[in-house]
Amino acid sequence: MALREHVAYVPYSNLVAQFEDTGGWTCVACGGRVEFRGFGHEPRPRVPLFECAGCGRRSDGCQTFEAHHLLYDGCALEDDVPARCGHWLCEWARAAGTCPVCGARRSRGPKYTTARGR
């Protein structure tokens, strides 16, 4: 499987502030609305936890279209490989749908993997 190393460009505190300013983000796996749950506990005390209300996908924001642009200066659809968060447990999934930031699109198709396996 092709891997692309990502280097975050934005401190987590700025990421959370951006989330609060925009009023919500979009899950790359199901297109659902993502909620900020707070900062994690051990072993990840300073990592924000975002969770999709639709599929339960959890991440530090990297599994949302909006934060992916902020963190990595590019769209999650560009990678075209299954991805998951390196901080919070979630299943591998390929980004699909329409990016609300840049307008890029990819069909979801009949099957996609989410944190709850739907």
**Per-residue pLDDT, 107:** 85
pTM for this predicted structure: 0.81
CA 34 to chain centre: 9
**Per-residue pLDDT, 34:** 96
Provide DSSP, the chain.
---------S-HHHHHHHHHHHT-EEBTTT--EEEEEEE--TT-TTSEEEEETTT--EESSTTBHHHHHHHHSS-HHHH-S-B--SSS----B---EE-TTT--EE---S----TT--
**pLDDT tens, per residue, the chain with 118 residues:** 444 455 566 788 888 899 999 888 999 999 999 999 998 776 666 889 999 999 999 999 999 999 999 888 889 998 888 899 988 888 999 999 999 999 999 987 654 444 444 4
In angstroms, the CA 53 to CA 43 distance is: 24
Q: Is the peptide bond before 43 cis (omega within 30 degrees of 0)?
A: yes
**Per-residue pLDDT, 118:** 41
Interval 35-49: pLDDT, tens: 999 987 766 668 899
**Per-residue pLDDT, 10:** 78
Per domain, the residue ranges of the chain are 12-105
